[in-house]
Structure 1
Amino acid sequence: MAEKTGFVGSVKETIKTIFWALLIAGVFRTLFFQPFWIPSGSMKDTLLIGDFLFVNKMAYGYSYASCPSIRVPAVGLDIGADDFCGFAEDREDRLFGSDPVRGDVVVFRHPVTGQDYIKRLIGEPGDRIQMIDGVLHINDVAAALEDDGIFTEIMEPQGPMGGRPMCANGPVGMGADCNKIRQIETLPDGTRHAVLDVGPRASDNTGVFIVPEGHFFFMGDNRDNSIDSRVPQTLGGVGYVPRKDIVGRADRVMFSSAGRSMLAFWTWRSDRYFKAIE
């Protein structure tokens, strides 16, 4: 009898340990940092497919979007932040809130689909944003561009989605070099970061976007391969992002996998450990 009691007691203690571990992990993820794995190339070469990072939720305060989301497509699991914290979804204010700053790399929830996106903040409330001949204009001031060589990668399926990169040197075969023009863009406030260009595209020239109060305008650094605020939500884009949908700021890459899974440690990129995001 004592042996049975000991076994049952051991099982109970194990269950309690797992419960508290999951609870602590959930609180940590909700209040402080959210893990994020880069699935697409829209932020190259600032962020590469396979980069793993933690999103700082304390940077801008808390809203319903700060609650965790759990998505595992392979098993059909799709639990969004609105499922956990839907009661606060209509609140426009943020607890301990502060606005992101132009140039920040920000994770936010798509206002329609609820999926997490990561882009660079380009437009703040009231700003006028326009692309003219591939040059970003903010409040009618052109962002300076400096040539900074060529970004080269191999033409091959990338990441778990198996997407293939776009190339400035035309269609290339599998295993060949895929080149993009790399430039350093300087925003009117002095923020500098790299952007990539693959040549003339329809998105190089846009109308004027006037960012509404309480909203933000985001763009990917891989300008010709990014679904962002340049495309309205009605056409499958991001459009203007409300303040309440901000999740947090991306500050540093922890590690990066060049393979199809972040668990494939033999494909980890040695030059991206703890790399600061600029």
Structure 2
Amino acid sequence: MNFPLVLLILLVVTGGIWLLDYFVLRHKRVSGNTEEPWWVEYPKSFFPIILIVFSLRSFLVEPFKIPSGSMIPTLLIGDFILVNKYTYGIRLPVANLKIIDMNEPQRGEVMVFRFPEDPSIDYIKRVIGVPGDMVTYRNKQLSINDVPVQLEQGGDYKYIDGPAYIYTQRFKENMDGSEHDILINEDMPDIQLSAIHHFPNRENCTFDRTGFSCKVPEGNYFTLGDNRDGSSDSRYWGFVPENHIVGKAFLIWWNFNDLSRIGTLIK
């Protein structure tokens, strides 16, 4: 379901009835001494609420729930997060057309965007490459423009994936001064070659058993999940176009399974 579109339709319908009543119907009721009909009363009551929700969700912040483990350990399954909708510019609702430029996504930031292969689905990943960057990942080492990204060993890490426990290694990654934790499973291949899709600008990438290299085209971004061996991301389905960006994730506001995560800033 396209919730922003549904919300926009409800806003237009209730707002239209409110305007119709304000300029036409209420005057007829006064002169005819009749009561307000239900089909006018209810839309008028809901219109201010829908307007507030629509405005907040479209231009300020939007809530999301994390459905998968691709961003472990930064984000856990069941985390409810808030996304800043204006950091990367003000966009028209539904059309997602940028009307006011502000900031551009930077390496290391956690970004929500519409999945390039199905824009009705929202994805969340970490920005690794910006336009013009050469992103290389070989033998578990990430490099940007031929400069290796610093890694610091963080010890063992385990998490539940369905019925199984996954044992892996935790590292602290330093990207342009931004530190965040990632997971790397040394027992997994660097890339699953059979899982690579055909995507726009695929000619900018080279793949082999040791990893890949991709040149990020203008107007696009390259993303990876923090759970490097448990994420479907740009190495498999390609670059994120600028017009698919939703916003920057900045806060965990709820998790039913772990209340200690409430109020955690997303790094």
Could you tell me the TM-score, scaled by structure 1's length? 0.71
**Moved segments of 4+, more than 6 Å:** none
- Give the alignment's Cα RMSD to 1 decimal: 2.2
More strand by share: 2
Is the CA contact 1:130–1:205 (under 8 Å) kept in the aligned structure 2?
A: no
Corresponding residue number in structure 2 for 1:25: 53
| Equivalent-residue separation in structure 2 for 1:21 and 1:179 (angstroms) | 47
- Out of 164, 168, 171, the position equivalent to 1:180 is 168
1:81-111 C-alpha deviation (Å, 9 max, x unpaired) = 3xxx28x5xxxx5523321111110001122
Corresponding residue number in structure 2 for 1:122: 128
Is the CA contact 2:131–2:217 (under 8 Å) kept in the aligned structure 1?
A: yes
Is the CA contact 2:59–2:91 (under 8 Å) kept in the aligned structure 1?
A: no
* Deviation at residue 12 of structure 1 after TM alignment: 4.7
- Out of 139, 143, 156, the position equivalent to 2:145 is 139
What SS does the corresponding residue of 2:173 show, helix, strand or coil? strand
In structure 1, stretches of 5+ residues that fail to align are 68-80, 156-163, 165-173, 232-236, 258-267
| Equivalent-residue separation in structure 2 for 1:94 and 1:212 (angstroms) | 22
In structure 2, stretches of 5+ residues that fail to align are 1-33, 192-208
Amino acid at match of 2:136: Q
2:234 is the counterpart of 1:229: yes
* Deviation at residue 178 of structure 1 after TM alignment: 3.3
* Deviation at residue 154 of structure 1 after TM alignment: 3.8
| Equivalent-residue separation in structure 2 for 1:240 and 1:106 (angstroms) | 13
Larger radius of gyration: 2
- Out of 105, 118, 121, the position equivalent to 1:100 is 105
Share of identical aligned residues, percent? 39
Query: Which of structures 1 and 2 has the larger relative contact order (alpha carbons within 8 angstroms, sep 6+)?
Result: 1
* Deviation at residue 120 of structure 1 after TM alignment: 0.4
Amino acid at match of 1:31: F
1:210-253 C-alpha deviation (Å, 9 max, x unpaired) = 0011111100000001111111xxxxx2x111112111000010
Corresponding residue number in structure 2 for 1:57: 85
2:197 is the counterpart of 1:201: no
1:85-141 C-alpha deviation (Å, 9 max, x unpaired) = 28x5xxxx5523321111110001122310211000000111110111001011111
Corresponding residue number in structure 2 for 1:241: 240
Is the CA contact 1:62–1:95 (under 8 Å) kept in the aligned structure 2?
A: yes
Is the CA contact 1:148–1:182 (under 8 Å) kept in the aligned structure 2?
A: yes
1:173-200 C-alpha deviation (Å, 9 max, x unpaired) = x4x753221111112x222111112223
| Equivalent-residue separation in structure 2 for 1:112 and 1:20 (angstroms) | 35
